[in-house]
Amino acid sequence: PPFAPLARAESSSSISSITSQSAASTPTLGRDLNIGPSPLTMGPQDTLPVAAAFTETINAYFKGADPSKCVVKITGEMVLSFPAGITRHFSSHPTQPILTFTISNYNRLEQVLPNPQLLCCDSTTDSVDSKEFWVNMPNLMNHLKKVAEQKPQATYYNVDMIKYQVSADGIQSTPLNLAVSWRGDATNTDLRIDYKYNTEAMASPVPLHNIHFLVPVDGGPAKVQAMIPPAIWNPEQQTIQWKISSLSHRSENGGVGALLGRFQMTEGPCKPSQLTVQFTSEGTTLSGCDIQLLGTGYRLSLVKKRFAAGKYLADN
């Protein structure tokens, strides 16, 4: 079946976001987790399909060309998705096997917040490569029953299971390295943005998509003299925007490049302003986390992984 877009509202969470900032700045990454036809028709020996999605947001701040001044914060969430027919199946088979799973690469995570109503885990806090969680089945059944009553048309239900932060190592953890430089005098201003695709930041190298570089030009009305490569100049808002559809290690120069703008100032020198960058990516995460189901009764039908820029900023 085609992927169905999953509305954010369809996900129900009983735990607050790690930071309201990361929640507010997370771009919408259409939560398309369709796990197959519904309603569910199956015999008692069949396994129930469960899908999982890891979605991570990277917030980063770059200062000039000094890598030591780069500040990074990565947050993430893991959502499980169940087919709508599961509620009927649960009501006719009230004693279900406990849904148990492990999260691998767990030692990359910090400030892990499992959904307190639905998840239990071993309380050992040692740095471990993988951690086991098991679902409180009566609470899950009640929760899905409520969601089914609220959304009778839904073909599957998303349940927020874990929110977390990923341990970051400064600029090495950023998939797109940035350096901004403003130079100029009373009449002319040169803007240069250097960027570099960084395979090291990702669990496996995947392209960044829909990369937008947006900069306001501050210092009275400006006239554009040059934009290399061509960019979008908005004379009303006095902003310049470059768009790159995709960037990877297979791009020109291995994903290393520069954006150049030259402006003629009408009211004196330009004040250096902040660069804002957006991008999305599909197919991997920054944490490298994965999920494996344990035991019987369930099968993993799909695992989606993606990340995006949240507040991704650079100053002179």
Residues 227 and 143 in one domain: no
Among candidate residues 276, 288, 153, the one with its CA nearest the CA of residue 212: 276
Of 94-98, 215-219, 253-257, the least confident: 94-98
Helix (H) or strand (E) holding 92: helix 86-92
**Quick one: average pLDDT of 59-84?**
95
Q: Inform me whether the pLDDT recorded for 32 exceeds 70.
A: no
Q: What is the pTM of this model?
A: 0.84
Task: Give residue for tokens 């250096």.
Answer: 272
User: Is residue 183 a contact partner of residue 271, using CB atoms and an 8 Å limit?
Assistant: no
User: Is residue 192 a contact partner of residue 178, using CB atoms and an 8 Å limit?
Assistant: no
pLDDT at 290: 96
Classify residue 3: in a domain, yes or no.
Answer: no
Residues 140 and 63 in one domain: yes
**Quick one: average pLDDT of 212-239?**
92
pLDDT at 12: 33
Range of the domain at 81: 8-170+286-315
Written as six digits, the tokens of 2 are 């085609």
User: Is residue 4 a contact partner of residue 155, using CB atoms and an 8 Å limit?
Assistant: yes
**Hey, what's the torsion of the CAs at 36, 40, 43, 48, to 10 degrees?**
60
pLDDT > 70: percent of the chain: 84
Written as six digits, the tokens of 298 are 């369930």
* More confident site: 48 or 247: 247
How far CA 145 is from CA of 7, 82, 115, 157, in Å, comes to 18, 12, 17, 10
Residues 165 and 270 in one domain: no
pLDDT at 92: 79
- What are φ and ψ of residue 68, in 5° steps? -70, -15
pLDDT at 14: 29
Q: Is 310 helix (H, G, I), strand (E, B) or coil?
A: strand
pLDDT at 93: 75
Segment 284-315, tens digit of pLDDT: 999 999 999 998 889 999 999 999 999 999 99
Residues 124 and 247 in one domain: no
Written as one string, the DSSP assignment of 237-260 is: TTEEEEEEEEE-TTSGGGGEEEEE
Segment 232-247, tens digit of pLDDT: 999 999 999 999 999 9
Written as one string, the DSSP assignment of 153-214 is: T-SEEEEEEEEEEE---GGGG-SEEEEEEEEE-SSEEEEEEEEEE-GGGSSS---EEEEEEE
- First-to-last CA distance in the chain? 49
Q: Is 280 helix (H, G, I), strand (E, B) or coil?
A: strand
In the sheet with 256-265, reading across from the earlier edge strand, the strands are 176-184, 188-197, 256-265, 222-228
Residues 121 and 228 in one domain: no
Segment 103-140, tens digit of pLDDT: 999 999 999 999 999 999 877 655 678 999 999 999 99
Q: Inform me whether the pLDDT recorded for 176 exceeds 50.
A: yes
Classify residue 129: in a domain, yes or no.
Answer: yes
Work out how many domains the chain is built from and give that number: 2
Rg (CA), the chain: 23
**Quick one: average pLDDT of 54-65?**
96
Classify residue 266: in a domain, yes or no.
Answer: yes
User: Is residue 116 a contact partner of residue 18, using CB atoms and an 8 Å limit?
Assistant: no
Written as six digits, the tokens of 118 are 């639905």
- Exposure of 312 in the CB half-sphere (CA atoms within 13 A): 26
Segment 267-280, tens digit of pLDDT: 878 889 999 999 99
Mean pLDDT over the full length of the chain: 85
Classify residue 121: in a domain, yes or no.
Answer: yes
Residues 45 and 151 in one domain: yes
Residues 161 and 310 in one domain: yes
Classify residue 1: in a domain, yes or no.
Answer: no
How far CA 80 is from CA of 50, 72, 176, in Å, comes to 7, 27, 29
Q: Inform me whether the pLDDT recorded for 19 exceeds 70.
A: no
Q: What whole-number distance in Å separates Cα of residue 279 and Cα of residue 212?
A: 7
* Most distant CA atoms of the chain, gap in Å: 78
